[in-house]
Amino acid sequence: MLRFKGKGQMKFKVQYALVAALAFLVVTFNFSLAATAGAKHYTELQFAVVPSVKLPKYERFVLQNGLVVYLMEDHELPLVNGTAFVRTGSRLEPADKVGLASFTGAVMRTGGTQKHSPDQLNEILEQRAAAVETSIGEAAGSASFEALSEDLETVFGLFAEVLRSPLFAQEKLDLAKTQARGGIARRNDSPDNIASREFRKLIYGKDSPYSRTMEYGTVDQIKREDLLKFYQQYFHPNNLILGIVGDFDSKKMRSLVQAQFGDWKLNPTITQPQLPAVLPAKTGGVFFVNQPQLTQSNILMGHLGGKLDSPDYAALDVLNGVLNGFGGRLFNEVRSRQGLAYSVYGFWSPRFDYPGMFIAGGQTRSDATVQFVQALQAEIKGIQAQKVTPKELDFAKESTLNSFVFNFQDPSQTLSRLMRYEYYGYPADFLFRYQKAVATTTAADVQRVARQYLQPEKLVTLVVGNQNAIQPPLTQLAPQVTAIDVTIPQPQGKK
């Protein structure tokens, strides 16, 4: 009796499970049909209007010694961070000591201060989950700190020490130079790095401060005294812009800034450095770096460009939107229709205070290299000849304007932008002027700037790839193809 009852229960359970499974399949199938029926093509999607962006409240003041200070309160989290921009850069270092600015920026922090050794500095910061960092890039130096609100005074004091009294310990310079030598030894490991480095040399010239390369010989020339001299030349309060954002009271923060930096003596003779002139090194030609191990070609094409303060910057950015991204001409033609590359791009890339570049490129199969280059050339010429359609214009402008909000994702980003504009002498509302200019850009504007600024006849073409696998050969692009030797020069006395 019991056995019979158990079989019946088991049979019922099996039947119930089958019915439940069938019901699940039916519901899922119906749901899938409904979802499929209701799905829209991406061109049919409609999005809410992007809300207007407003700058958070901030305070700007200048100490008597010339230090410019920005304060922006943000009490969302118990954190405070700050950044100082220093008017310096690797473009100002001597040509025979390439790497000097980078070493100065690194060893300022790693080398300790006159009050705290490197280990002491690290220990104090680690105990508080805080950070103080320094660096010097191409066109600016920077020092930054991050701290919990409760540790602000301690960490800000260390930050001031690093800025005002770095020790530049010899052993830390030696370590930085050893690491730099390792980077030089590995710099040809990546075809992307080769292409980017050599392309800048073709555009700006191999001796330009915007394309110079650190070598074993320049590293060996740099001494601790050079770091001290470089630091002393540029690190003065009237050559800095300091910005602080986070969980603090502005009145108290202002007093803390005064206490840490108010007695730092200014340099009355400091002047804005004379920036090096920029002229195009090449105005055409096809160049090649042979890398036999590669199965695809890395290609860059372009010419010298312009600056962000161009009155046509907004129209050129809309031009970028017509060329680039999903739905852009390069994607639709070179990638989708011709199937020559997974990624392809072309954009006008300006700089704040020196000419940037117009760059087009991507990666393609070795046997499609010539076809890829020709396709890019055709699209660059096409943007000048073929009027931008209303659909293309709307897509480019909407993409540009919708991404505008991401310039203000958090107060730190917003404050950094304000500081950077002051650093380069741009108006504080520069980004909002740009936004308005994008909104009023017409199809005629896009075609005008394409014809005015793009120079298809002066495109410099660089290919990094496998010479034997590139068929047809690059001579189909130009009768003369110039080979570039990327062999790394060895230190004197070594082979």
For every residue of 395-438, DSSP letters joined together read: HHHHHHHHGGGGGGSSHHHHHHHHHHHHHHT--TTHHHHHHHHH
List the strands of the sheet with 59-62, edge to edge. Answer: 59-62, 68-73, 240-246, 79-86, 141-148, 131-136
pLDDT in tens, 467-478: 999 999 999 999
Amino acid, single-letter form, for residue 362: G
User: How many CB atoms lie under 10 A from the CB of residue 256?
Assistant: 18
Segments in 39-151 forming alpha helices (H)? 100-110, 118-127
Bridge partners (DSSP) listed for residue 462: 287, 300
Bridge partners (DSSP) listed for residue 288: 463, 483
Bridge partners (DSSP) listed for residue 125: none
465-494 in b/e form (b: 16+ CB < 10 A) is bbbeebeeebebbeeebeebeeeeeeeeee
Contact 136, 90 (CB under 8 A): yes
Q: Give the list of residues 6+ apart from residue 207 with CB closer than 8 angstroms, or none.
A: 95
Query: pLDDT tens per residue, the chain (495 residues)?
Result: 333 334 344 333 434 444 444 444 444 445 444 444 556 665 565 656 656 677 899 999 999 999 999 999 999 999 999 999 999 999 999 999 999 999 999 999 999 999 999 999 999 999 999 999 999 999 999 999 999 999 999 999 999 999 999 999 999 999 999 999 999 999 999 999 999 999 999 999 999 999 999 999 999 999 999 999 999 999 999 999 999 999 999 999 999 999 999 999 999 999 887 888 899 999 999 999 999 999 999 999 999 999 999 999 999 999 999 999 888 999 999 999 999 998 899 999 999 999 999 999 999 999 999 999 999 999 999 999 999 999 999 999 999 998 888 888 889 999 999 999 999 999 999 999 999 999 999 999 999 999 999 999 999 999 999 999 999 999 999 999 999 999 999 987 655
pLDDT in tens, 6-43: 434 433 343 444 444 444 444 444 544 444 455 666 55
